[in-house]
Structure 1
Amino acid sequence: MKKFWLLTLFISVLFSCSDNNLSNKNPNIPSYPVNLSIDMNLPAYSNLKFVSNGIIIPNYGAKGIIIFNAGSGYNAFDAACPNQAVNSCVAMTINGINALCSCDKSEYSLFTGLGGKEYPLKQYRVEVSGTVIHVYN
C-alpha cells in the first residue's frame, strides 16, 4: 500500500510539471507549426552573438519570429501583437530591448515577454548548438 501512494505521488508530480513554463494560451494568435534553424555565422544573423540584440525573421509563425539574445540564453517570440487580432496589426518591431506593437504602441520586454497587458508575447522553444539556433514549438 505504501508503494502505491509513493507511485501515485510521483506520477502526479510528474504530470504537474511543465517542460519550460511556456504559456501560449492566447485566443488572438493562432498556433502555427514553427521549425526554424539559423546560423549566427551568416551575416544576417551575426548580431545575435551579442547580448541585447534581436532580429525579426519574417514568414514564420503568425507574423514572423523575434529572436533575442538575453545574455543567459536566447528567447524567441511571435512578432504578432498578443493583445490584438492577428489580422489587425502589422508585425511588431524591435525597439531596443522591447518589442513594439504597431496597433496600440504597447511595448513588451524581450527578456520576459511581459508587457503589462492581458497576454504576454507568444513564446517558442529555443535550442542552441554551437552557432546554430533552433526555434520550434
Structure 2
Amino acid sequence: MQRILGCFLLILMMACDNDRGNRNPYLVEVRFRFDLNLNLPLYSPLSNTGNAVFVGTNGVGTRGIFVMNVGLEQFRAFEASCPNHAPNECSTMELNGQTAVCPCEDFEYSLFTGQQFSRPEDGMRYYDMLEYNTTFNGGVVSVSN
C-alpha cells in the first residue's frame, strides 16, 4: 500500500509544472479588475462584433488595455504596451481598426488573436500580446488579471 501511495505522490509531483518559459520578460503582469458598461457611450462600440476600444485608465494594465468584441458575446482584452520591448516613451500601442500598432518599430498585432503579424525572420524571439481575462454579463464586460 505504501508503494502505491509513494508512486502516486511521485507521479503527482512530476505532473506539476511551474515552468513559465513562455512568460514575456518585458511586461510585468499587474493585478487589476475593470468593468466596461456597454450602455455608456465610451464603451458602446463594443456592442458590435469586430469593434475595439482602448482603455487608458490608470491602474488598468501597464499602459492600458485594448478590448475587442470577437462575436457571439465573446470579448478579448490585451495589454496596450508593446510586448516586444520594455515599456518606454513610444511603447503604448495605437488602435487601428482591428489591429494594434507599436509606434516604436511599426509591429502590428491582431486584436482577434493577439498575434503579431509579419514576424521578422532575424532569429530573435518575438512575443504576442499579453492577454487578460474577460467575462460578459448583463451588458458589462469585466476585464481582470
Query: Normalising by the residue count of structure 2, what TM-score does the alignment of the two structures yield?
Result: 0.77
Fraction of identical pairs, as percent: 36
Tell me how far 1:25 sits from its aligned partner: 1.3
C-alpha root-mean-square deviation of aligned residues, in Å? Answer: 2.4
- In structure 2, the partner of 1:35 is 33
Count, aligned residues: 129
- SS of structure 2 residue aligned to 1:44: coil
Tell me how far 1:11 sits from its aligned partner: 8.6
Q: What do the CA deviations read for 1:52-86 (whole angstroms, capped 9, x no partner)?
A: 10001002111101001111410000100000211
**Structure 2 CA distance, aligned partners of 1:7 and 1:85?**
41
Larger Rg: 2
**Structure 1 CA distance, aligned partners of 2:48 and 2:132?**
20
**Structure 1 residue identity aligned to 2:28:** P
**Residues 24 and 97 from structure 1, CA distance in 2 versus in 1: closer, same or farther, beyond 3 angstroms?**
farther
Runs of 4+ in 1 over 3 A off after TM superposition: 3-13
**Structure 2 CA distance, aligned partners of 1:113 and 1:92?**
12
Structure 2 unaligned spans of 5+ = 121-125
- SS of structure 2 residue aligned to 1:70: strand
Aligned 1:1-137 pairs, distance under 5 A = 25-58=23-56, 59=58, 60-72=60-72, 73-115=74-116, 116=119, 118-137=126-145
Tell me how far 1:9 sits from its aligned partner: 6.9
Tell me how far 1:8 sits from its aligned partner: 7.8
**Structure 1 residue identity aligned to 2:38:** M
Query: Normalising by the residue count of structure 1, what TM-score does the alignment of the two structures yield?
Result: 0.81
